[in-house]
Chains A and B, each alone.
Chain A
Amino acid sequence: MPNVKNWQIGREMAYPYDARFPERQFAFVFNINRCIACQSCTMACKSTWTFSKGQEHMWWANVETKPYGGYPQSWDVKILKMLRDADPEGQYWREKLSDGRYAPYGEFNGKTIFEANDTALRTESSRVLGYLPTDEEWNSPNIYEDNPVGPKGVRNALHTTGTELPVHDTWFFYLARICNHCSYPACLAACPRQAIYKRPEDGIVLIDQEQCRGYRKCVEACPYKKTMYRGNTRVSEKCIACYPRVEGTDPETNGQPMETRCMTACIGQIRMQGLVKVDDDGTWAEDRQHPLYYLVHVAQVALPLYPQLGTQPNGYYIPPRWVPREYLEQMFGPGVERAIERYSHPDRELLAVLQLFRRSNRIIFRYEIEEGPLVYEGSYRGRDVRIYNDTVIAFGARGEELFRTQIEEPLHVREPIHANSI
């Protein structure tokens, strides 16, 4: 098996194919601190792509309640357990955080899903450690989670006291997920027919529906379980990253790259999606004024989801501040404490870049900040806070300005009836 360089785990690893990287890579950042699980993204995707017969169980975009929820159920617990069984002592990081583009979270000592396959008890034909979820695990995406339901047999009614469950002192958060369009896709590696490919222009991973014969090796291999089998067509399907929008060929885009349906539907404004430049070795090319590059490599507040699995996923998350660090480190790697510290006390530039989230449906390729005056100075929870009226300007694919944001202090005008009431 060839060796490829994985910058997220800070070392080379085995992968069934030689490394090939796209010119730009589809990537996204989700800010978990803002997600309230309204499921607008889920429904936007569902109503666009998976509303047909045979797709009832498919949710290319979903939001699950962590730690106990999952779609399919327990997907992450199961693959982590399989990895631990394959390498009982070794699944840990040699923690040495850095600011570099390669190995920013240190080096992962353990085995990835491509490497653990050698030691696990597997059939010879399987190239990736994985499992096939059962129908029961697929069929109820939010079962036992905290979604409100109505009384049995009554249509269009919700229980008004949705939280009358036993209140327990615990913690939870909402994890929004789509396909990570990985740089080393496990689905692609596992497909015996080479029906899955990664597009050279934007790194979007697609299944060629004519080549697919529905062996479900991709469903078994994808550790994030984002490829799904469709029974009535007998082929597999997956998130297509709304590629007509990303390309700018969808009529709504007016010819300009536009973010996906799930991104644009996000009312909590937790999402930003873009196309990042990739170097020859698969690391992100330096692009200082790209908002995603800034969040992942400069501010380092956005972290990959389960980087230790080895697929080099292109979905990044700003971790929730209130969750125990051990859990978050398992999920996002050793960069968690640094990310939360910087996010909780954002500097001037981070505060400005966070204003770019969901101000436009166009894909942002570059931003600039025009510095403005100090408008507030005070303390907040024991720390000094300074807020500047900076103008953040976003630019599109052709270098054209998309929009600019500023802050302003609302002006309250006294009604005429009270004009002289002092």
Chain B
Amino acid sequence: MPYHEPDPSDPNVLVGVSLPGDEETTREMAISFAEEFAFLGFDQKHLLNVFRTPDYEGAHRAYLLLGEEEILRIIGEATKVFGRFRVVVHDRPEERAETLVQIEVGESKCRT
């Protein structure tokens, strides 16, 4: 989003080219985000926040175009299947480096 109105004499100005999509494209994008974030452990409330927040342009544009009701339906459908589980990760305990050196702090023994 530029600060100023586009200046046609600026050779660097954006030249817009229409790349038409349709409602289905937007819906497919919203479904993808809902599924992916349900997989990541987002619940319905957090997922809806992603769509409601204007900073996440992709998700938010789908929210504006499709409406909250449709977004809620999509989120509900995705979380019903993919959001019912959470992934549990068991890390192997960290190894201590073999070359760890203990630095002792003490009085300086320098002589003048």
CB within 8 Å of B: which residues of A?
31, 33-34, 36-37, 67-68, 73, 136, 143-144, 146-149, 152, 158-163, 165, 167-174, 254-255, 268-269, 320-324, 327, 354-355, 359-360, 375-376, 378, 380-381, 385, 387, 389, 400-410
Give Cα A408–Cα B86 distance, bound, in whole angstroms.
Answer: 6
> Which residue of B has the minimal Cβ distance to A408?
B88
Would you call B97 an interface residue if the criterion is a C-beta within 8 Å of the partner chain's C-beta atoms?
A: yes
Given A402-B92, A406-B87, A408-B86, are A171 and B55 neighbors across the interface (CB < 8 Å)?
Answer: no
Would you call B23 an interface residue if the criterion is a C-beta within 8 Å of the partner chain's C-beta atoms?
A: yes
B21-63 toward A: CB 8 Å interface, digit per residue (1/0)?
Answer: 1110110110111001101100000000010001111111100
Task: Say whether chain A's binding surface is mostly helix, strand, loop, or mixed.
Answer: loop
Given A170-B20, A322-B28, A401-B92, are A375 and B54 neighbors across the interface (CB < 8 Å)?
Answer: no
B1-16 toward A: CB 8 Å interface, digit per residue (1/0)?
Answer: 1110000000010101
CB within 8 Å of A: which residues of B?
1-3, 12, 14, 16-23, 25-26, 28-29, 31-33, 36-37, 39-40, 50, 54-61, 64-65, 77, 81, 84-92, 94-95, 97-98
User: Which of B18, B28, B89, B94 is the one whose CB lies under 8 Å from A170?
Assistant: B18
| Interchain CB contact under 8 A, A409 and B64 | no
Task: Say whether chain B's binding surface is mostly helix, strand, loop, or mixed.
Answer: mixed
Number of interchain pairs (Cβ within 8 Å): 142
| Interchain CB contact under 8 A, B20 and A147 | no
Given A401-B92, A404-B90, A407-B88, are A146 and B3 neighbors across the interface (CB < 8 Å)?
Answer: no
| Interchain CB contact under 8 A, B14 and A406 | no
| Interchain CB contact under 8 A, B32 and A387 | no
List of B residues within 8 angstroms of A168 by Cβ = 18
| Interchain CB contact under 8 A, B84 and A405 | no
Give Cα A387–Cα B29 distance, bound, in whole angstroms.
Answer: 23
Give Cα A324–Cα B25 distance, bound, in whole angstroms.
Answer: 8
| Interchain CB contact under 8 A, B32 and A322 | yes
| Interchain CB contact under 8 A, B57 and A400 | no
Interface centre among B33, B60, B91 (most CB of A within 10 A): B91
User: Which of A36, A159, A169, A172 is the one whose CB lies under 8 Å from B23?
Assistant: A169
| Interchain CB contact under 8 A, A169 and B36 | no
| Interchain CB contact under 8 A, A161 and B32 | no
User: Which of B17, B55, B84, B94 is the one whose CB lies under 8 Å from A148?
Assistant: B55
| Interchain CB contact under 8 A, A34 and B36 | yes
Given A162-B1, A269-B40, A400-B92, are A385 and B81 neighbors across the interface (CB < 8 Å)?
Answer: yes
List of B residues within 8 angstroms of A402 by Cβ = 91-92
| Interchain CB contact under 8 A, A172 and B1 | no
List of A residues within 8 angstroms of B77 by Cβ = 380-381
List of A residues within 8 angstroms of B37 by Cβ = 34
| Interchain CB contact under 8 A, B85 and A378 | no
> Which residue of B has the minimal Cβ distance to A253?
B97
Given A163-B54, A163-B57, A403-B90, are A169 and B64 neighbors across the interface (CB < 8 Å)?
Answer: no
Query: Which 7 pairs from chain A and chain B are nearest by CB?
Result: A322-B28, A171-B21, A407-B85, A322-B29, A146-B57, A162-B54, A144-B14
> Which residue of B has the minimal Cβ distance to A151?
B3
> Which residue of A has the minimal Cβ distance to B96?
A254
| Interchain CB contact under 8 A, A173 and B58 | yes
Give Cα A170–Cα B17 distance, bound, in whole angstroms.
Answer: 10
**Distance (whole angstroms) from the CB of A117 to the closest CB of chain B:** 27
**15 A–B pairs (Cβ distance < 8 Å), ordered by A:** A147-B1, A152-B3, A161-B54, A163-B54, A169-B22, A172-B58, A255-B97, A320-B32, A321-B32, A322-B32, A355-B87, A376-B81, A378-B81, A402-B91, A405-B89
